Amino acid sequence: MNLPYLDPSLLAPPTTQTPIFHVSRVSKTYETASGTTLALTGIDLDIPPGSFVSIVGASGCGKSTLLKILAGLEDATEGVVLREGRELDGPSRDVSIGFQEHVLFPWLTIEQNVMLPTEIYGMPAEASRQRVQELLRMSGLADFARRKPAELSGGMKMRAALCRALSTDPRVLLLDEPFGALDALTREELSLELLRMWEKARKTALLITHDIDEAVLLSDTVVVMSPRPGRIVEIIPIDLPRPRNEETAALPRFTQLTQHIRKLIFSPRKEAA
Amino acid sequence: MNLPYLDPSLLAPPTTQTPIFHVSRVSKTYETASGTTLALTGIDLDIPPGSFVSIVGASGCGKSTLLKILAGLEDATEGVVLREGRELDGPSRDVSIGFQEHVLFPWLTIEQNVMLPTEIYGMPAEASRQRVQELLRMSGLADFARRKPAELSGGMKMRAALCRALSTDPRVLLLDEPFGALDALTREELSLELLRMWEKARKTALLITHDIDEAVLLSDTVVVMSPRPGRIVEIIPIDLPRPRNEETAALPRFTQLTQHIRKLIFSPRKEAA
Amino acid sequence: MKKSTLHPAVVRTGLTALSVVAMLAVWELAVRSLQLPQWILPSPASIVQVANEWRQDLLVHSWVTLYETLVGFAAAVALALPLAMLIAFTPLLKHTIYPALLVLQSVPKVAIAPLITLWAGFGVLPKIIVVFLVCFFPIIVSATAGLESASRGRMDLMRSLRASRWQTFWRLRLPQAMPQIMVGCKVGITFAVIGAVIGEFVGSEQGLGFLILTATAQSNTPLAFSALVALTVISIVLYYLVERAEKLLVRWSD
Amino acid sequence: MKKSTLHPAVVRTGLTALSVVAMLAVWELAVRSLQLPQWILPSPASIVQVANEWRQDLLVHSWVTLYETLVGFAAAVALALPLAMLIAFTPLLKHTIYPALLVLQSVPKVAIAPLITLWAGFGVLPKIIVVFLVCFFPIIVSATAGLESASRGRMDLMRSLRASRWQTFWRLRLPQAMPQIMVGCKVGITFAVIGAVIGEFVGSEQGLGFLILTATAQSNTPLAFSALVALTVISIVLYYLVERAEKLLVRWSD
Amino acid sequence: ADLTLVTDFGVNGRHAYFFVAQEKGYYRDAGLNVTIVRGQGSADAIKKVAAGSAQVGFADAASLVLARANDEVPVKLLSIVYQQPPQAIFALESSGIRSARDLVGRKVADTASSAVPLLFGAYAQKAGIAKEQVSWMVADGASLPAVLATGRADAIGQFTVGEALLQKAVAPQKLVRLAYKDVGLSYYGNGLIASESMIKQQPEVLKSFVAATLRGMQEAFRDPAGAGQILNAAQKQVDAAVAEAETKAVAELAQNPEGPMGGISVTGMRNTVDTVAGAFTLKRKVTPEEMFVPGFTPR
Ligand SMILES: Nc1ncnc2c1ncn2[C@@H]1O[C@H](COP(=O)(O)OP(=O)(O)OP(=O)(O)O)[C@@H](O)[C@H]1O
Ligand SMILES: Nc1ncnc2c1ncn2[C@@H]1O[C@H](COP(=O)(O)OP(=O)(O)OP(=O)(O)O)[C@@H](O)[C@H]1O
Ligand SMILES: [Mg+2]
Ligand SMILES: [Mg+2]
């Protein structure tokens, strides 16, 4: 812990619970016809149950790759990934994913797209419909429930994809830049909404984001990654009190943390240049 | 001009040049099988030559629609759009567009994708190749010139699409959230790069962005739009001195302007809620 | 929206009708100016006249051919889709099923017609089999290509949901493949009509193929051509019905 | 990668070969156990024997048929693509061209044999025409569907660049349509082989169709079947060649 | 009993007598319920009868020799209708062909299933020309008149009974007929066939079928015009006048100088087998006796 400005008493006590994800010495190399790319190398990470972890890092550093490995959609080239103590063997229904690209099906309406996971899981239709209606209302898409994705703006599609990821009320949530295409206001509204939902239910959440304020505001832990090939530069526990809200961002500790992270991200490359 | 905190002497003198775009009483209604959507209404806007204009506004408020109308890709349902004094009749080669969704062709390599406009325009191959190489280097994609889009991360695809929009060195640049999927550092680097390029050549630029700081830092004018149906809430001249750079953001005037805009965007909806 | 006040569907139908009329006019003129004897190419006028005399029979025979076509085509669709599904489920299967399909496809149906009659006798069954054999291949090749084409991202979504193969099929692969399946059906339906006629050539007492053969054997060329015209009409109508079905089934764009 | 150390292409070829061998085995067994007389279905063994006796002739006739197939197929591709392009350029044209194509497609080629012989006589030309007519339709329908399917976003990009129709065709529509065009070609090539045989049925002095007809007439069923086998081999080989071409031309995924 | 009768090729005027027997109730009187279906050439008809798709058929004796010799098809003749060779080569007068000798160096077209090219060797021998000097092409049956009229071939093969139709098609040009029987060839043409198993199991049914058919022939030959009308009524696309002309031509071919109408003799059959054997290499030697079952026609 080389963070002298951290008050150690605020740190969560070391958990004895089995982590939801245990990642150890993971690296990932993509091999294609046009060449190989080392995307991740030497990743060690534990995500305890009920924690909210954010990943920040340069574009192309392997954040999405890491998320896909945790989701069971990509295999790590090297290393070990355990999910609740057992070797990961593919995706699980407990884990819900919000993809970086929205992946809405153009032949389904927004509502049908959002309901898709609940239908595949065979969840009771009426209850799911109500939950979905609530999610759509929350994300300002209630008027567009019957529209096809092609009739939505970029940000609206992202919101619909987020609703879909939340529709099954999953134990574990993996979100890849869910607020990337959103304006400042909508982004803030939705991220606070997500924060409220999470603080109520204490599911496990992993969020990839480019917004450092957002990462600090929402998370228990922020993982900072280096540019490609992705390594973990630092794992920063966020010792801000909960529940958090808009006001949390006004705390001096908040500014301290965000500036520390900003420095981590900005300095190495600046020095190199 | 109801901005009492603005120093009128800093405002640009009213230009006598024909504006690049003159938009007057424009509204746009989308009609589809599943219903009609009023996307824009009563838009009045002039974009003088050589100016840098940013548009900010809530997701789904019609920013992309306005950009597509200016680009000649969508017809306004009502109102007049003039390009350099003449009625707009479709796209023009002077005007380059960076789309919100990257639209890279999966069968072309990154370099081929970026070169596409120069080839279609019939620009000299060697000169274009050099320019493109330079753009790719600038955006950190030099190593990926020979790769296919499917091998790139989300942010890398966005950067490639930005390079493509810049590849022909267009007179007018219309950019729809070019930095949306980028991390804070890359975003800052690229937007400053764009600023430098623009300040050197003084082309006309229209930028849709969700980042208010970015809008203020880069622009001569920031257009704030209301949520759907999109109206123009205020057109704010940015009276910060040029050339601008990282330090500009430290000026008190900068903070004043960004906070004014933030208030414009955040207050109406907050009040309604 | 801008210039024409006509509904596009009206314009399209009008154009189709116009081009048919134009073809007929060229034909009539060609026959008259080249003075082609009627047993080589009868003029549209003479065909219409004969068709009118024979309209009762033409209707009956057309009905038989139409029936064989539709049943055979329906059977082909009903079998091609599950098989294409199977191939989409286990891609390696493709390399065992396709060779067999290629064998079936490459054997000229006329050449194995005796075999077919031996197994299926006379009656409509052998014709339906020929129709089936003829239109099965285009449908399954298109359907397989469509079902295989699900993009990486969409497949990842379904995998992340642990959707079963069935669910992936019904909710992703099938809707996504629909446009290509319909292309296969459009090609298939036109071959189906020909297949019915080939089946009738092989052995039959009714149907347009029977009429064509017997009329030709009797050098009643205008009658043979009126049967050909009936066939073409059936083919065009069925094609546009499939296209209509496509419009109803595929109402989205990427 | 994980279990098998074999190259997937080897596995696929192996499976294909295996299934062909399996089919032959089932056939041989069926003939033996059911004691089918050779005039109904000769056994593979007897076909091989006859094929060996006739190998010289089989080669010559196969060559003729192969030649007709390839030339007709090439002509169909060469004409279908520009026509599909034209349709993609001016969509209304579709409604004037397609009816004509449907007429050509729906007429059984055997039924217009007199017309074909009248215009093209004997020789290879009429066969090439029949091959062309038979495989043109699947290719153009697939190609048109593929060329029409360019997504809104991509078209907007090309429009924003004021790309000419040609440029849009070459740089967007054609590469995007390539997978579908190849589907059309795969269906087309198998029909092309049949087309050559049908063309030979109409009138010929050589080719596998000629051999099948004369062998059948002389009740030399094993010879007729060995010609059918040669035909099937040609068909399968050509199909897989087109598939190989597809692999080379379509090296991207969405 | 129910019987399906498969013709040699299509249903044409030359088949009128089957319909006479049908319409006048001769089959019904014999306790038969006969369905007449079209064949696709003699080889096809023989296979259909062998396979039981049809119980009786009408096929060419020479084709049957080939089928028995090469493919071991278990089918036999019951009765011969065309006692004379029906095969002929037709040319246009304008081609300059007047006799067999003029065929040298010419192209002749016919369907693959036709017996005309099959037996051309025998014809060439009798006519004193080398069969290799005439080249044969396979053409679809429907295109034959066109092939002839447009000069794509110098001549075509056709049964003599088809002359009326052919003349109608190529009018106003005139036809030259080179019939195989005119050079002194004597072998059997088409006859009634049945499978060996059918012959063994239901000889009585077959016998009454042959008798009823012969009765139809007699009636048709007595009144060809009437036969034409009957056929036209049953098969509308067959012109009554053409059917009448063809029936007359059949009557000519059906003349049996050595015996009753429809009769088969070992000598006649031997001529046929020898003619075929002379023109082809057969896999197996066929005896005249195995070709037919005696006793099905009036002696
Ligand atoms: N092709 C279309 N068909 C129908 N409606 C459309 C279409 N494109 C956009 N819209 C509607 O028009 C409105 C404005 O969309 P637009 O894409 O301009 O928003 P935007 O401001 O760019 O939003 P974002 O920031 O989310 O990209 C939205 O309500 C959207 O649903
Ligand atoms: N399917 C793939 N094939 C080959 N290379 C890939 C593939 N996916 C990602 N890569 C490479 O792996 C590296 C990491 O990609 P990844 O998508 O994980 O980045 P990221 O951190 O999510 O970036 P961004 O913030 O831009 O989304 C990149 O260099 C990319 O080129
Ligand atoms: Mg990513
Ligand atoms: Mg937008």
Q: What is the DSSP letter of E174?
A: P
Q: Mean pLDDT, consecutive 10-residue segments, chain A of 273 residues?
A: 45 65 94 90 92 92 94 93 90 92 93 95 92 92 93 92 93 91 84 88 90 92 90 92 87 92 75 46
Q: Is the minimum CB–CB distance between B165 and chain D shorter than 8 Å?
A: no
Q: Taking residues C46-69, what's their average pLDDT?
A: 92
So what's the pLDDT on residue D3? 46
pLDDT tens by residue, D55-78: 999 999 999 999 999 999 999 999
Burial-class residue E265 by CB neighbours within 10 Å (0-12, 13-18, 19+). middle
The whole-angstrom separation of Cα A83 and Cα A93 is 13
Percent of chain C with pLDDT over 90: 43
Set of chain C residues whose Cβ sits within 8 Å of the Cβ of E4: 122
The token pair that represents D150 in the structure block: 């360019």
Residue B12 has pLDDT above 60, yes or no: no
Residue E184, CB half-sphere, CA atoms under 13 Å: how many? 5
Residue D162 has pLDDT above 80, yes or no: yes
The whole-angstrom separation of Cα B248 and Cα B240 is 8
Tell me the pLDDT of chain D averaged across its residues. Answer: 88
CA distances from C141 to B58, C136, C147, E241 (A): 47, 9, 10, 51
The token pair that represents E235 in the structure block: 């098969």
Backbone angles phi, psi at C127, to 5 degrees: -65, -40
Q: Beta strand pairing status for B78-83 and B86-87?
A: antiparallel
Residue E224 has pLDDT above 70, yes or no: yes
Shortest-distance Cα residue to atom 30 of ligand 1: A152
Q: Is the minimum CB–CB distance between D206 and chain E shorter than 8 Å?
A: no
SS3 E2: strand
The whole-angstrom separation of Cα B145 and Cα A34 is 10
Test A73 with C171 for CB contact under 8 angstroms: no
User: Among partner residues C161, C250, C252, which is closest to A148 by beta-carbon distance?
Assistant: C252
So what's the pLDDT on residue D15? 83
Residue ranges covered by each domain of chain D:
55-253
Question: Which residues make up the CATH 3.40.50.300 domain(s) of chain B?
Answer: 1-9+29-94+171-273
The token pair that represents B97 in the structure block: 């567009």
Q: Please name the residues in contact with B224: beta carbons below 8 A apart, sequence gap of 6 or more.
A: B56, B57, B232, B233, B234, B235, B236, B261, B264, B265
Q: Would you tell me the crossing angle of helices D55-89 and D124-148 to the nearest 10 degrees?
A: 40
The letter for the amino acid at D243 is E
Test C105 with D235 for CB contact under 8 angstroms: yes
Q: pLDDT-based confidence at C187, cuts 50/70/90?
A: very high
Q: Which residue has the tokens 């006649």?
A: E268
The DSSP line for A151-206 is: GS-HHHHHHHHHHHHHTT--SEEEEESTTTTS-HHHHHHHHHHHHHHHHHH--EEE
Closest CA to E288 of E275, E265, E274, E269: E269
The whole-angstrom separation of Cα B115 and Cα A145 is 40
Ion ligand 4 contact residues with beta carbon within 5 A:
A 153-154; B 64, 100
So what's the pLDDT on residue C30? 86
User: Among partner residues C118, C210, C216, which is closest to E53 by beta-carbon distance?
Assistant: C118
The whole-angstrom separation of Cα E152 and Cα D120 is 9
Q: Please name the residues in contact with A228: beta carbons below 8 A apart, sequence gap of 6 or more.
A: A37, A38, A39, A58, A60, A61, A62
What ipTM goes with this model? 0.88
Q: Do chains B and E touch (3 or more CB pairs under 8 A)?
A: no
Burial-class residue B202 by CB neighbours within 10 Å (0-12, 13-18, 19+). exposed
Residue C1 has pLDDT above 60, yes or no: no
Q: Give ∠ CA C87-C84-C90 in degrees, rounded to 5.
A: 15
Test C172 with A105 for CB contact under 8 angstroms: yes
The whole-angstrom separation of Cα D146 and Cα E96 is 57
CA distances from E281 to B57, E177, E269 (A): 92, 29, 18
Q: Which residue has the higher pLDDT, E56 or B197?
A: E56
Q: Which residue has the higher pLDDT, B112 or D91?
A: B112
Contact A208, A68 (CB under 8 A): no
Burial letters for E72-108: b for 16+ Cβ neighbours within 10 Å, e otherwise?
ebbbbbbbbbbbbbbbbbbbbeebebeebebbeebbb
pLDDT tens by residue, B215-253: 999 999 999 999 888 899 999 999 998 888 888 888 999
Mutant choice from E18, E237, E242 vs C, greatest count of C C-beta within 10 A? E237
The whole-angstrom separation of Cα A138 and Cα A131 is 10
Shortest-distance Cα residue to atom 1 of ligand 2: B151
Residue D116, CB half-sphere, CA atoms under 13 Å: how many? 30
Closest ligand to C-alpha of residue B176 is 4
Contact B136, B114 (CB under 8 A): yes
Is this model's pTM higher than 0.95 or not? no
Residue C113 has pLDDT above 90, yes or no: no
CATH homologous superfamily for the domain B1-9+29-94+171-273: P-loop containing nucleotide triphosphate hydrolases (3.40.50.300)
- C233: nearest CA partner in chain D: D103
pLDDT tens by residue, A232-260: 999 999 999 888 888 888 899 999 999 99
Residue C211 has pLDDT above 80, yes or no: yes
The token pair that represents E106 in the structure block: 């010419």
Query: Chain D window 173-232: which residues touch B at a Cβ cutoff of 8 Å?
Result: 175-176, 178
Sign of CA dihedral E206, E207, E210, E216: negative
Residue D191, CB half-sphere, CA atoms under 13 Å: how many? 35
So what's the pLDDT on residue A269? 52
Q: Please name the residues in contact with D52: beta carbons below 8 A apart, sequence gap of 6 or more.
A: none
Written out in words, the top-level CATH class of the domain with range D55-253 is: mainly alpha
Residue E91 has pLDDT above 90, yes or no: yes
Q: Is the minimum CB–CB distance between B187 and chain A shorter than 8 Å?
A: yes
Q: Give ∠ CA E75-E81-E87 in degrees, rounded to 5.
A: 95
SS3 E258: coil
Test A59 with B155 for CB contact under 8 angstroms: yes
Tell me whether the omega of the peptide bond preceding residue B49 falls within 30 degrees of 0, making it cis.
Answer: no
Q: Beta strand pairing status for A221-225 and A78-83?
A: unpaired
Q: Taking residues C177-192, what's their average pLDDT?
A: 94
The whole-angstrom separation of Cα D3 and Cα D24 is 30
- The CA dihedral of D45, D47, D48, D51, to the nearest 10 degrees, is 160
Q: Is the minimum CB–CB distance between D166 and chain E shorter than 8 Å?
A: no
Residue D5 has pLDDT above 70, yes or no: no
Q: What is the largest CA-CA distance in chain D?
A: 71
Test B155 with A262 for CB contact under 8 angstroms: no
Test B146 with A35 for CB contact under 8 angstroms: yes
- C166: nearest CA partner in chain A: A120
Backbone angles phi, psi at A22, to 5 degrees: -120, 115
CA distances from E90 to C145, E130, E174 (A): 53, 19, 10
